[in-house]
Structure 1
Amino acid sequence: MSQKTVSDALHIFYELNSALSDAYWETNDINNKDLFFSMKSMLQDELDELHKLSMQDHIYPYEPINPGVAQLSDKLRAMHPQMASIVYRPKTFRRLDDLIPSACDLFEI
């Protein structure tokens, strides 16, 4: 696997943030809403830190900035095998199914 840049991470995280928002609004289960909201919050914290970098820094290899992303990685890994029972819309399911492995790859240093 090639080293992902800050720019790659931003792209994956924007897409993942959007997919988690969709999943949040598509579920009626309060526990699932809580799970998606929690993951979005952790992801937003990392995005906030990445936004502080200059455009010139986007070519450098991505390294997690916020320590909370380790929890996000754990939650994504735990949710991925159970997604069929908590993400009902096929489009959202496919997006998350594609994005979760890419995002988890970014968290491994």
Structure 2
Amino acid sequence: MRLHAHAGEELDAVLETLPVSSVWGIGRRLESSLKLLGVESVLRLKRANFRRIRDGLGITMQRTVQELNGEPWLELEEAAPIAKKVISSRSIWAKGGEPAGATGSHQLSCC
């Protein structure tokens, strides 16, 4: 248990040195808004009151704070499945079922 507390202290020391803009999804505008709230480092963001963050900056920012505190908000089962699409195009075919530009002696083959 003591080792875990020590690792947390080391992590906090690193987070204190990182600017809040180093968090994925925080750009210049959001960084400015966070600075107005006194949040300039990732550690300050981690320790921020997530309800206050939600009220001022929205639910997505609240979830970011929760994630920094080790509370996942999106379970793997909730993630949308990757859509597989099949795209077909007939743009290479000319009228009559022949490839565009094909002459009697040329054939289009695949695989």
Calculate the TM-score normalised by the size of structure 2: 0.32
Which of structures 1 and 2 has the bigger CA Rg? Answer: 2
Calculate the TM-score normalised by the size of structure 1: 0.32
Normalized per residue, which structure has more helix? Answer: 1
Higher relative contact order (CA 8 A, sep 6+): 1
